[in-house]
Amino acid sequence: MIYHLGKQQSIVNQFVSEIRDVNIQSDRMRFRRNMERLGEIIAYEMSKKIEFENREVTTPLGTVEVPEIKSQPIIATILRAGLPFHQGFLNYFDKADSAFISAYRKHHKDGRFSIKVEYVSCPDLTGKTLIIVDPMLATGSSLVLSAKALIEYGKPERIMIGTIIASTQGIEYVRKNLHGSKVEIWAAAIDEELTAQAYIVPGLGDAGDLAYGSKDAD
């Protein structure tokens, strides 16, 4: 199931416009904040699909039954670009546990690259809703490898993926390679093209560099 939030006219499109705009991107704080706000919006949309149960709440004037999340999700973030996006999800799922995974592209001299997963910190996922947040879903390779590494910590009941900009190729790759799990994808925008170096076009550039500064390309 794919939820493309940018198809509707909403403030989502304003925030996506700003993080794409080269004239605004140089303001790192604004870039991070817009990622955080998009995380909040996607978290809200995801919450509509999560199971709730009623709980009796005592007010100063009486009692009332209020629906609350039945089982808190676990939010997993791919470092480092995902950190401000992750914070947006935590702002709304504020009782959720978190998982962190280091997955990155290892570029080779012949122009190819491989995906390296070096670090995972994760609670037990058995029977849980796992939310994987990654601002850019390009080829889908790093997300699939990260999901498989996380699943070693227990089989979740469902996997919900939150991304800001996805490519159609990346979405298809995830669907084909996580077919054994119940997977849903929420994207603020979906772009059609990938470059030969596997960057999304028009995309927005390198989200990690824009949020935290450039790094040495190894």
Considering Cα of 138, then 143, then 145, then 148, what sign does the dihedral take? negative
Tokens standing for 106? 């290892």
| Domain spans, the chain | 2-50+69-212
Burial, 50: exposed, middle or buried (Cβ in 10 Å; 0-12, 13-18, 19+)? middle
- State residue 178's pLDDT score: 87
- pLDDT (tens digit per residue) in 165-204: 999 999 999 999 987 678 999 999 999 988 877 889 999 9
- pLDDT (tens digit per residue) in 142-165: 899 899 999 999 999 999 999 999
* CATH architecture of the domain formed by 2-50+69-212: 3-Layer(aba) Sandwich (3.40)
φ, ψ of residue 73 to 5 degrees: the values are -75, 170
The pTM of the full predicted model, rounded to 2 decimals, is 0.90
Q: What is the total residue count of the chain?
A: 218
- Prior bond to 202 cis, omega within 30? yes
- For residues 187 and 164, give the distance between their C-alpha atoms in angstroms, rounded to a whole number: 5
% of the chain exceeding 90 in pLDDT: 78
